[in-house]
């Protein structure tokens, strides 16, 4: 195992180039698949190097073209579709839900649809109501789809390769702010089994569940609390669909306390599923489960309006305080240290901490 510290975007690029080498039938589709911005540099040079044998320009016709990808995939072609925003995929809900998600089921396994739809999600710089959604709970409500959400650069490469080589259709949700992060990434091509949860830190006091950009904040907090002998079992909820709850239940049976953070709206979000599963499995908690997430209104553009919109580090710390019944004195100390470690930055640009390295 040899690892190199690289950018998240380069980790994606690595996955793409190595997948091209591994599978002759693999190709990329995208709106502007060969344009100079190259999806934040993640597919830079692919078109130049491999030409039309590996890239198919996608007219701005998401439903039809995802249908085309499905039709190619039925024959065994692996297709990576690159869309600049999750909202464009809404045009293709019909194909994604009716055909991609059901081809295997209807054909009794004779068809499979090995496509990956990379969708950029995220916040910042006034993206607004129709450029700032994540919709992971919506995609996760459909049997037959896989929903994969990387957080660290290491995830980006490993999970993208595993998604490309997965025979099922995968929705791959990439947060814009993660693109700028750095971390150690395995050099080699490796396919790993995708699972719903990945253990990030080990602890017996409380289970903290987060994904994507929220995981980075949660990771910072887990490290901070360690100094105060508060040990969190931090789980990366990296594949909400299909939902395998083994690691979650194991963790909660140990900690008997949980805080879960939604990337999307709290109401009807994925934390509802997390907490319901704990209840279904009759696990008695020591304190009430807590969930954090976005309020139930669209994402506004103005930085004035998003002031309390996203769960902050402080929100997470308060939730943990409530779950663990941390004394006011200790909490003030922790919060003080947290505030000192975080720089005062505007709410609409990424925290420098998110750059890593991780």
Partner 1 sequence: MNNLELISLYKSLYLIRHVEEMISKNYSKGQMRCPVHLSIGQEACATGLISNLKLTDKVFSNHRCHAHYLAKGGSLKKMLCEIYGKKNGCVGGVGGSMHLQDLDKGLVASIPIVSSSIGMATGNALYQKRRKSNEVTVIYLGDAALEEGIFFECANFAALHSLPIIFACENNMFSVYTNLKDRQLDSNFKKYADAYNISYKRLDGSKIDEVYKKTKSIINFVRKNKVPYFIQMDTYRFKEHCGPAVDDHLEYRDQKEVNYWKKKCPIEYAKKLMKRKKINEKKVETIQKNIEKFVIKEFKFAEKDKLPSYKDAERFVYV
> Interface with partner 1 by CB under 8 A: which residues?
56, 59, 61, 63-75, 77, 94-95, 98-99, 103-112, 143-144, 146, 167-168, 242
Burial of 19 (0-12, 13-18, 19+ CB in 10 A): buried
Instruction: Choose between 80 and 259: whose C-beta lies nearer to partner 1.
Output: 80
- Residue 258 CA to residue 239 CA, distance in Å, equals 18
Per-residue tokens: 325: 């019944």
Nearest distance, CB of residue 95 and partner 1, angstroms? 6
Round the CA-based radius of gyration of the chain to a whole number and report it: 20
Q: How far apart are CA 354 and CA 75, in angstroms?
A: 41
Q: Please list, in sequence order, all residues whose beta carbon lies within 8 angstroms of the beta carbon of residue 327, skipping any fewer than 6 positions away.
A: none
Q: Residue 165 or 353: which CB sits closer to partner 1?
A: 165
Distance, CA of 78 to CA of 82 (rounded, Å): 13
CA-based end-to-end distance of the chain: 17
Minimal distance in Å, beta carbon 280 to partner 1? Answer: 17
For residue 58, the minimal CB distance to partner 1 (Å) is 9
C-beta of 242: minimal distance to partner 1 in Å? 6
Q: How many helices (H) and strands (E) does the chain have?
A: 13, 13
CB 81, min distance to partner 1, A: 12
What distance separates the 2 farthest-apart alpha carbons in the chain? Answer: 64
Measured from the CB of residue 145, what is the shortest distance to partner 1 in angstroms?
Answer: 9
Closer CB to partner 1, 109 or 129, in the complex: 109
Q: How far is the CB of 231 from partner 1 (least distance, A)?
A: 35
> DSSP E strands: which ranges in 194-302?
197-201, 206-210, 232-237, 258-265, 290-294
Sheet architecture: strand order including 27-30? 55-57, 27-30, 79-83, 115-121, 170-175, 146-148
Which one, 95 or 137, has the nearer CB to partner 1?
95
Nearer CB in complex with partner 1: 109/298: 109
Nearest residue (CB) to partner 1, 3 versus 52: 52
Residue (62 or 217) nearer to partner 1, CB: 62
In the complex, least distance from residue 70 CB atom to partner 1, rounded to whole angstroms = 5
Output helix, strand, coil percentages for the chain, rounded to the nearest 5: 40, 20, 40
Closer residue to partner 1, CB minimum distance, 79 or 221: 79
């Amino acid at each position: 195992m040899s690892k190199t510290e690289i950018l998240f975007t380069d980790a994606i690029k690595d996955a793409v180039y190595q997948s091209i080498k591994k599978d002759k039938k693999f190709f990329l589709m995208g709106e502007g698949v060969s344009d100079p911005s190259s999806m934040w540099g993640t597919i830079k040079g692919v078109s130049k190097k491999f030409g039309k044998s590996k890239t198919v320009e996608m007219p701005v016709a998401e439903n039809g073209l995802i249908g085309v990808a499905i039709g190619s995939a039925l024959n065994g072609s692996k297709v990576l579709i690159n869309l600049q925003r999750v909202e464009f995929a809404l045009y293709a809900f019909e194909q994604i839900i009716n055909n991609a998600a059901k081809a295997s089921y209807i054909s009794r396994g004779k068809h499979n649809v090995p496509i990956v739809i990379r969708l950029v999600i995220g916040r910042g710089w006034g993206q607004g109501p129709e450029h700032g959604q994540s919709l992971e709970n919506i995609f996760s409500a459909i049997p037959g789809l896989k929903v994969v959400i990387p957080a660290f650069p290491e995830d980006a490469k490993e999970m993208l390769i595993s998604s490309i080589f997965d025979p099922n259709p995968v929705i791959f949700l990439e947060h814009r702010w993660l693109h700028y992060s750095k971390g150690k990434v395995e050099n080699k091509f490796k396919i790993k089994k995708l699972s719903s949860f990945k253990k990030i830190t080990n602890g017996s006091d409380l289970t903290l569940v987060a994904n994507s950009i929220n995981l980075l904040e949660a990771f910072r907090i887990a490290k901070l609390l360690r100094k105060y002998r508060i040990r969190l079992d931090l789980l990366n909820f990296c594949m909400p669909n299909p939902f395998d709850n083994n690691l979650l239940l194991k963790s909660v049976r140990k900690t008997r306390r949980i805080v879960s953070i939604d990337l999307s709206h709290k109401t009807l979000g994925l934390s509802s599923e997390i907490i319901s599963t704990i209840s279904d499995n009759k696990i008695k908690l020591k304190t009430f489960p807590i969930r954090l997430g976005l309020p139930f209104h669209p994402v506004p553009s103005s930085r004035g309006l998003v002031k309390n919109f996203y769960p902050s580090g402080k929100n997470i710390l308060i939730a943990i305080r409530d779950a663990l019944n941390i004394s006011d004195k200790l909490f003030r100390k922790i919060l003080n240290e947290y505030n000192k470690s975080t720089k005062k930055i505007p709410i609409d640009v990424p925290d420098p901490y998110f750059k890593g390295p991780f």
